[in-house]
Chain A
């Protein structure tokens, strides 16, 4: 069968369509030449675009323009936060080698921390979560009671990318503040979906990614308080406060700001609409397919509005995704990053979901272009997909 156009895109958490405003901003800005670091008129024009973009990003997040460090995306922002904070805190105080992260962090945080453990003497503590995928604050408190003097940083994501559970970032910040420990939060999945205000969050740093909210791939930002020291990961021309060298891409920056502004402006309305669709999808699935368990936090304020995560008993993710794809429905098993060969999700493992059930993980994520047609397409196709997957189990 030749590739056919999709009927339903339910993988917004992997990447979401670029918003019109972001496309327009990109096209407009890319029409002119100029390196923002040049002092001539062309450079100044580009600089102006970047500054306006920085102001736009800051305004959408409740941050100051000077706090916005533009990066190549969310992964780079997370790496800069984790490594940059670790190196600067340790050089200020050699005892500070401990890195506390939640066990369900995206690999951009988790693997950056593990790399520091393997290559640079960090002691990484992966903090447990409950069965809904929410951080266990008691374990965090216990770590801080015992080792506060050794902690370089804490990193806890705002919302989990696989199961959609929001994390108690306020409580983490409150606990860390007593010991003066900086907290970083990967907010890649949260922005545009739930309210995020950098100033009131008390965070030291926050990572965001353009393509998860309707801006293009290839641009993101680390928002970091001015009093937070970061050791650079990329060295070069000294752009972005000297912590992120490389010519600032003016058109991508403008597009990020436009996409983020559009996402934040529409957030309340979209979140209500999308969560209603999500709930309808969940209810329909639970009513028509036996042996399905909804994972993550209950629908409501503790969960991303567009995220639906299921485990399907006696079925394989690989097979369900294949059959859904054949039916013109794009979904995911939880993360698009382990492309190709499937592995059991570290998030589900941390939540105590057994490997057997984790094999049947299915993430359906909705976003700004989702419609009732998408929901109905899934509800029409999924029962047969699950049935066939279960029958095929013997061969897998």
Chain B
């Protein structure tokens, strides 16, 4: 196959590309320039689109002996991922930009370009497995073998057609440590590079500051469940459901117990706080359903495990699809679930589908 390997400049994508080369594919490396200010210096592990990362990606391609190009997708990234991130926070929701990047950039813009240029598939360093039935007609997405690195949660959004054009060579890697060791063995200089974390376009990791810069300060009240004002904030968008730290409430709660953000109301620019138990929810409603498992349609209530955050624990649940909507009844309550988050349904290691949370109770 002709394979386009996305090279971020990190360890995972470099080893994934190496494995694709070894599997006998014709591999070309592409680094996506996603930031509009590429000169921005980032410390150590943050981000994936600094000049250093591009150069690390190029050096990995050199070692693998594959051609390497930089594709500028910064405009598309800004218009989709960053714009969505800002709009979602402004609307009081909690977006997951990695999900949006997979939806709009990696398995959309990048994949579309690759296909248009004659490639058969895109290869990335994600920790997830794709299995096919004998005929290769049905592609299933499964959790990666490396439990602590599993990224199936952020990948379900790409949908079944794009799954068929994706390759995740690290799906069966037992751990990140083995991938690092493999990078070292292959002479890839990025083997010791720290893991990336946080949001790549928030260079200093200060999401609150980033939102304030881009959305402007907008002071308003913090109230308790009875509507009593207990503090103030400089922008409701900077709060996320389930958050406890950084509330800076002057007055302690009457019962003396810690308070959590229960909801964010952009309409009247208000943050509502309350006790931890008020966060517990058992019923979820998702929108924009993307369903991968055609053989498990879930048109009626179907047993599954549901995960509501990237490295959260799956909870047993009944799920039911109704058009673009997904209804979820959890066996036990979960806390701190915010509108905007992805709700992913699993059957064992297999991803059935996902939706974006619109409501919960």
Interface residues of A in 80-95 (CB under 8 A from B): none
* A1 interface contact, C-beta 8 A: yes
| Size bin of chain A's contact surface | 10 to 19
- Rounded to whole angstroms, the CA-CA distance of A391 and B113 in the bound complex is 11
Q: How far is the CA of A371 from the CA of B65 in the complex (A)?
A: 28
B210 in the interface, Cβ–Cβ < 8 Å? no
Residues B66 and A319 in contact, CB atoms below 8 Å apart: no
Name the contact of A3 in the complex, choosing from B65, B70, B71 (C-beta under 8 A): B65
Provide the B45-83 mask, 1 if CB < 8 A to any CB of A, else 0.
Answer: 000000000100000000001110111101000000000
B33 contacts A322, CB within 8 Å?
A: no
CA distance A391 to B115 in the complex (A): 11
In whole angstroms, how far apart are the Cα atoms of A247 and B113 in the complex?
A: 50
Contacts of A395 in B (CB 8 A): 109, 112-113, 115-116
Q: Are A3 and B67 in contact (CB under 8 A)?
A: yes
A93-109: CB near B (< 8 Å → 1, else 0) gives 00000000000000000
Q: How far is the CA of A342 from the CA of B71 in the complex (A)?
A: 9
Q: Are A1 and B117 in contact (CB under 8 A)?
A: no
Partner of A341, one of B26, B27, B33, B109: B33
Q: How far is the CA of A395 from the CA of B74 in the complex (A)?
A: 15
In the complex, chain B residues whose CB is within 8 Å of the CB of A319: 117
Q: How far is the CB of A340 from chain B (nearest CB, A)?
A: 4
Chain A window 370-396, contacts with chain B (Cβ cutoff 8 Å), 1 for yes, 0 for no: 000000000000000000100110111
B215 CB to closest chain A CB, in angstroms?
28
Residue B38 CB within 8 A of the other chain? yes
Residues of B within 8 A of A52 (CB): none
Contact with B along A310-336 (1 / 0, CB 8 A): 000000001100110110000000000
Residue of A nearest to B72 (CB): A341
Q: Is the CB of A388 within 8 A of B67?
A: no
With A and B bound together, what is the CA distance between A318 and B67 in angstroms?
14
Question: What is the CB-to-nearest-CB distance from A84 to chain B, in angstroms, rounded to a whole number?
Answer: 28
Q: Which residue of A lies closest to B68 (CB)?
A: A3
Q: Which of A1, A341, A388 contacts B66 (CB 8 A)?
A: A1
- Whole-angstrom CA separation of A1 from B65 in the bound complex: 8
User: Which residues of chain B come closer than 8 Å to A326, judged between CB atoms?
Assistant: 28, 67
- In chain A, positions 320-364 with a C-beta closer than 8 Å to chain B are 322-323, 325-326, 340-342
* Nearest opposing residue in chain A for B114, CB measure: A395
Q: Which of B67, B69, B116 contacts A1 (CB 8 A)?
A: B67
Shortest C-beta distance, A38 to chain B (Å), equals 39
A395 to B118, CA, bound (A): 12
Alpha-carbon distance A323/B113, docked complex (angstroms)? 12
CB pairs A–B below 8 angstroms (24 shown): A1-B26, A1-B28, A1-B66, A1-B67, A2-B21, A3-B66, A318-B72, A322-B69, A322-B117, A323-B117, A326-B67, A340-B33, A340-B54, A341-B33, A341-B38, A341-B74, A342-B72, A391-B116, A392-B117, A395-B109, A395-B112, A395-B116, A396-B113, A396-B116
Binding site for B on A (CB under 8 A): 1-3, 318-319, 322-323, 325-326, 340-342, 388, 391-392, 394-396
* Chain B residues near A (Cβ < 8 Å): 2, 21, 26-28, 33, 38, 54, 65-67, 69-72, 74, 109, 112-113, 115-118
Given contacts A341-B38, A392-B117, 17 further A-B contacts (CB under 8 A): A1-B2, A1-B26, A1-B27, A1-B67, A3-B65, A3-B66, A318-B71, A319-B117, A322-B117, A325-B67, A340-B33, A341-B70, A341-B72, A342-B72, A388-B117, A392-B116, A396-B116
